[in-house]
Amino acid sequence: MMPMGRVLAKATHRHEDEGSAVIEAVIGVPAFMLFVGLIIFGGRTIMAHQAVESAAADAARTASIARSAGDASGTATAAGAASLKNQQVQCITQSVTVDTAGFSAPVGTPARVTATVTCRVNLSDLSIPGVPGSLTVTESATSPIDTFRER
């Protein structure tokens, strides 16, 4: 059995941690929200890189099956833009450049075409301290031109 003094002491000290949950929430919730925001930022960055890389591959493949350098440039640009649109990437600005120097190689000589896709992705809606308002993603892909096809 406890003496009466100890019982009273326990009864008067049992509410010392009142309000600590509020303090924990004030500190913890913003930290958690920052963590979630950084996960979203990372996911959007990775998805943008994958989409732009896929668009570059589509553009290079489309250019490699064209009959001339002029056709290759036009069809590759359209294919890269269509790929970004199909993947629902929201680019502030985008560009597709195609290196068609391989089309000037003589028939029978191995040649290739390279497509480079650049997309500036908007990140301003995240509102995370230290995260830029936009991110420029650039990827390139190369595809061989048929060695024995007339150019």
- Summarised one tens digit per residue, pLDDT across range 37-70 is 999 999 999 999 999 999 999 999 999 999 999 9
The pLDDT of residue 149 is 81
**pTM, 2 dp:** 0.80
* 90 close to 122: Cβ distance less than 8 angstroms: yes
Closest CA to 49 of 109, 131, 142, 136: 136
- Summarised one tens digit per residue, pLDDT across range 115-130 is 999 999 999 888 888 8
- Summarised one tens digit per residue, pLDDT across range 133-144 is 999 999 999 999
Say if 5 falls within a structural domain: no
Say if 106 falls within a structural domain: yes
Say if 130 falls within a structural domain: yes
Average of per-residue pLDDT values in the chain: 89
Say if 37 falls within a structural domain: yes
The pLDDT of residue 21 is 83
Q: Residue 61: which domain range?
A: 23-145
Say if 14 falls within a structural domain: no
Say if 16 falls within a structural domain: no
Domains contained in the chain, number: 1
Say if 66 falls within a structural domain: yes
Say if 3 falls within a structural domain: no
The residue that leads in pLDDT, 136 or 149, is 136
